[in-house]
Amino acid sequence: MASGHVAEHGTTPTDYIVHHLTHLKVGEGFWTWHIDTLLMSALLAILVGWVFRAAARRATSGVPGRFVGFIELVVEFVDGQVADIYHGDRRFMVALALSLFTWIIAMNTMDLLPIDLPGGVAALFGAEFWRVLPTADLNGTVAMAFVVLLLIVIAAIRAKGVGGYAHEWIAAPFGNHPLLWIPNAVLNLVELLSKPVSLAMRLFGNMYAGELLFMLIALLGFTVVGLTAGSSVAFLGQIVMGSAWAIFHILIVVLQAYIFMVLPIVYIAMAEEHH
């Protein structure tokens, strides 16, 4: 599948990879906008929101149909996960976990599309580059992690008050002594920032690596020149390895979404605990 577009994308494997890792962007410097990431994530958010809203609209206390039953299954699973971790009014937590879980699964699943298909379709609309996977864009994962960071701080302030939270910043974990205020604050800053950074990097790293591996497997197609023994091996190798990696990648798609769903709930639950 990769070989068909080699001519358009460039002649060398390096060109192919670079092309696949380049965003469609407008703007300069910080004010650069990744059109592909923004459009794909927004479209998938609309899709996920529409599907779940359709189920929520149809949900009754009676016997659910197949579609509503499936959505309720997902919601119940997420609700169970949240209930295990977070004790309290968990309506917002379920919404947070559910939106993270479903949206990330939808975005990650884009990685399973044939690697040259999104770029090919985008080319039909005149777009030179198209990275279809918003979670392989650091902006996408950092944005979610940033919102989670804000929610952690808000939850902590709501639970302890501004004074209580500020006191915790300088008094924990070493103790309330003027000499220890700065070490405490530094440690707390590291602790707080490590959470969203690890969230964002974990998801980004997994998806970026997965995408890159698909590209490397697709490069096998570069060596196909005709009906020779080497070409046949390369072609078979691309099919077998591509299939194997895609099947394994289904696990990563769901697992990373699950991790990104559970950890924010854990962090917020921790933030509301009193030290």
Dist. CA 24–CA 172, nearest whole Å: 46
Cβ neighbours of residue 21 closer than 8 Å, sequence gap 6 or more? 131, 212, 215
Length of the chain: 275
User: Which one is catalytic: 176, 194, 198, 232?
Assistant: 198
When binding is defined by CB under 8 A, the residue of 14, 32, 198, 228 that contacts another protein is 32
CB distance 217 to 241 below 8 Å:
yes
Return the number of the residue (136 or 217) whose C-beta is nearest another protein.
Answer: 136
When binding is defined by CB under 8 A, the residue of 67, 70, 146, 248 that contacts another protein is 146
Return the number of the residue (33 or 248) whose C-beta is nearest another protein.
Answer: 33
Cα–Cα separations (whole angstroms), residue 56 to 60, 70, 79, 89, 93? 9, 12, 15, 20, 17
| Residue 57 interacts with another protein (CB under 8 A): yes or no | yes
Active site (annotated) includes residue 202? yes
When binding is defined by CB under 8 A, the residue of 112, 123, 138, 153 that contacts another protein is 138
Least distance (Å) between residue 37 CB and another protein: 6
CB distance 138 to 205 below 8 Å:
no
When binding is defined by CB under 8 A, the residue of 112, 120, 127, 139 that contacts another protein is 139
| Residue 71 interacts with another protein (CB under 8 A): yes or no | yes
Which residues 193-222 are close enough to bind another protein by CB under 8 A?
A: 208
When binding is defined by CB under 8 A, the residue of 83, 95, 154, 225 that contacts another protein is 95
Q: Specify the residue for token string 């990104």.
A: 260
Strand partners, 27: none
**What's at 174, amino acid-wise?**
F
Q: Which residues are catalytic?
A: 198, 202, 206
